[in-house]
């Protein structure tokens, strides 16, 4: 599509997330409507949405059950007082989400997105240790290449260099280790590499002094690092070492939650339950901003006391627990469970992975990674030297858009994460578009 002079002028008066507006001018996308698996731009061109917005539209765009739930709630109550009251539907949401969380992660606070949920989890963790007799525990260990949000605490926990350096210095007390993909070529097996990387968390805890370490936070499948998918044992080792040192394990499931990896949460997919889960994105299927912090019920108990004790969580947002958002969240969770969408994601995810593996015939794919309906494909210029091939990704971004396909390209890998309502025939349509776009991109760069 082409931008008209008014749109160009207006784009200079705003900004697009994490990208240069001038590059966007060369390859713009201004959407006007969406339905199910598709977007339409302002010129009427249709796009297959291969990433469900951005891992958001769990049930596809404009799902009737979601819209109806919002409409019904809108007629009753669209805003509730956040400090001096709450809403009945907000409490219904707490109960509904608590029924879907693994373990006893039933202490739930709804927020307006992923960053807010992470920010809350970091503050909750620090305050928890302060009022349970371990006030020296305040540090967090996370991973380079991880992303936890754009606000200052979430950014300090993130490990994405260029997204952070303009805002340095960051908060002290945020330490990092590297994800398994970083070390994979130094080990003969992926399993061994994962063991080494899990133990690095413990090395840092010991190096820092366990009495100062509060939490380990990571995405079960790391998106910004290229759909980094550790072994199940990696998470079991993390669970054990956190228990050994009285450190809380926090999963950022803002992308992996709500059915995407084949279970309601990736915690279940990988078989190791954390102390806190942060959710966002797919929880509202994109109909309205919604996120949630889900913590162990007994931890919530540490924040319940008398006025004199003053142990309440010192935190809040005007739109946290918004009635419209909570009504939407309940509808999304009901639909995922009633339609068995997590199980469907597991089954169709295998089909999607097999189709993506088929792209290896072009000799430029190093690995296909992921679980369920969250998959990533890493490029290489040469399967023998394993040299990266970012030029191919940059070209693919252009050709895909030209062919009416939206992917997440970064640029040495691309990811797909379609709505969980997708069927096998839709996966075929998406993968045919990927293949066609890849062949055209290859022709441009070779």
Ligand X SMILES: Cc1ncc(COP(=O)(O)O)c(C=O)c1O
Chain residues that interact with ligand X, rule: CB under 6 A: 113-115, 118, 147-149, 219, 223, 252, 254-255, 280
Q: Which residue is nearest to ligand X (CB)?
A: 114
Q: Are strands 174-177 and 291-295 parallel, antiparallel or unpaired?
A: unpaired
Shortest Å distance, C-beta 57 to ligand X: 14
Shortest Å distance, C-beta 112 to ligand X: 8
Query: Are 234 and 198 spatial neighbours (Cβ–Cβ below 8 Å)?
Result: yes
Residue 31, C-beta contacts closer than 8 angstroms, at least 6 positions apart: 39, 40, 41, 42, 47
Shortest Å distance, C-beta 223 to ligand X: 5
Shortest Å distance, C-beta 252 to ligand X: 5
Nearer to ligand X, 117 or 194 (CB): 117
Shortest Å distance, C-beta 150 to ligand X: 6
For the four alpha carbons of 279, 286, 111 and 283, in that order, the dihedral sign comes to: negative
Shortest Å distance, C-beta 147 to ligand X: 5
Nearer to ligand X, 163 or 191 (CB): 163
Nearer to ligand X, 53 or 262 (CB): 53
Nearer to ligand X, 149 or 323 (CB): 149
Shortest Å distance, C-beta 291 to ligand X: 6
Phi and psi angles of residue 132, each rounded to the nearest 5 degrees, phi first:
-125, 30
Nearer to ligand X, 111 or 313 (CB): 111
Nearer to ligand X, 149 or 179 (CB): 149
The C-alpha atoms of residue 21 and residue 346 are separated, in whole angstroms, by 37
What count of other Cβ atoms lies within 10 Å of the Cβ of residue 109?
A: 23
Residue 110, C-beta contacts closer than 8 angstroms, at least 6 positions apart: 90, 93, 94, 97, 290, 291, 292, 320, 321, 322, 325, 326, 329
Nearer to ligand X, 365 or 374 (CB): 374
Nearer to ligand X, 234 or 389 (CB): 234
For the four alpha carbons of 12, 16, 20 and 24, in that order, the dihedral sign comes to: negative
Nearer to ligand X, 229 or 399 (CB): 229
The C-alpha atoms of residue 38 and residue 134 are separated, in whole angstroms, by 51
CA-nearest of 409, 404, 371 to 389 is 409
The C-alpha atoms of residue 357 and residue 201 are separated, in whole angstroms, by 32
Instruction: Transcribe 222-276 into DSSP letters.
Output: BTTTTSB---HHHHHHHHHHHHHTT-EEEEE-TTTTTTTTSSSSHHHHHT---SE
Shortest Å distance, C-beta 269 to ligand X: 15
The C-alpha atoms of residue 254 and residue 238 are separated, in whole angstroms, by 19
For the beta sheet containing 408-409, the strands, ordered from the edge strand earlier in sequence to the opposite edge, are 365-371, 374-379, 413-416, 408-409
Shortest Å distance, C-beta 288 to ligand X: 12
**Degrees, nearest 5: CA angle 77-79-83:** 130
Shortest Å distance, C-beta 408 to ligand X: 10
Tokens of 116: 């807010």
The C-alpha atoms of residue 205 and residue 245 are separated, in whole angstroms, by 8
Nearer to ligand X, 54 or 67 (CB): 54
């Amino acid at each position: 599509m082409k931008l008209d002079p008014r749109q160009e002028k207006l784009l200079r008066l705003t900004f697009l997330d994490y990208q240069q507006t001038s590059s966007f001018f060369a390859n713009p996308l201004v959407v006007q409507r969406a339905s199910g698996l598709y977007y339409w731009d302002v010129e009427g061109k249709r796009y297959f949405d291969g990433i469900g917005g951005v891992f958001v539209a769990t049930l596809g765009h404009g799902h009737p059950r979601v819209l109806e739930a919002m409409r019904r709630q809108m007629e009753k109550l669209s805003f509730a007082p956040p400090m001096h009251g709450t809403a009945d539907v907000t409490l219904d949401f707490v109960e509904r989400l608590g029924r879907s969380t693994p373990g006893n992660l039933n202490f739930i606070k709804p927020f307006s997105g992923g960053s807010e949920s992470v920010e809350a989890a970091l503050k909750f963790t620090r305050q928890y240790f302060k009022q349970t007799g371990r006030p020296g525990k305040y540090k967090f260990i996370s991973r380079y290449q991880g992303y936890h949000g754009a606000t200052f605490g979430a950014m300090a926990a993130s490990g994405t260099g260029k997204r952070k350096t303009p805002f340095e210095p960051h908060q002290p007390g945020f330490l990092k280790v590297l994800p398994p993909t970083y070390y994979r070529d130094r080990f003969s097996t992926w399993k061994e590499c994962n063991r080494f990387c899990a133990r690095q968390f413990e090395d840092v805890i010991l190096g820092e002094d366990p009495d100062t370490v509060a939490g380990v936070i990571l995405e079960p499948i790391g998106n910004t690092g290229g759909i980094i998918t550790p072994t199940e044992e990696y998470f079991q080792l993390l669970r054990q070492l956190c228990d050994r040192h009285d450190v809380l394990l926090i999963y950022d499931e803002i992308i992996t939650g709500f059915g995407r990896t084949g279970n309601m949460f990736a915690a279940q997919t990988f078989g190791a339950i954390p102390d806190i889960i942060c959710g966002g994105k797919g929880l509202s299927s994109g109909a309205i901003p919604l996120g949630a912090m889900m913590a162990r019920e007994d931890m919530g108990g540490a924040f319940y006391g008398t006025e004199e004790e003053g142990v309440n969580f010192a935190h809040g947002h005007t739109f946290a627990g918004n009635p419209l958002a909570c009504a939407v969240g309940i509808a999304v969770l009901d639909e995922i469970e009633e339609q068995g969408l997590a199980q469907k994601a597991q089954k169709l995810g295998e089909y999607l992975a097999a189709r993506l593996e088929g792209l290896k015939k072009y000799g430029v794919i190093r690995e296909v990674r992921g679980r369920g309906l969250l998959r990533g494909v890493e490029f290489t210029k040469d399967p023998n030297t394993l040299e990266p091939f970012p030029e191919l990704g940059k070209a693919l971004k252009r050709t895909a858009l030209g062919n009416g396909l939206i992917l997440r390209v970064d640029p040495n890998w691309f990811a797909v994460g379609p709505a969980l309502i997708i069927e096998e025939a839709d996966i075929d349509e998406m993968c045919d578009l990927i293949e066609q776009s890849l062949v055209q991109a290859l022709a441009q760069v070779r």
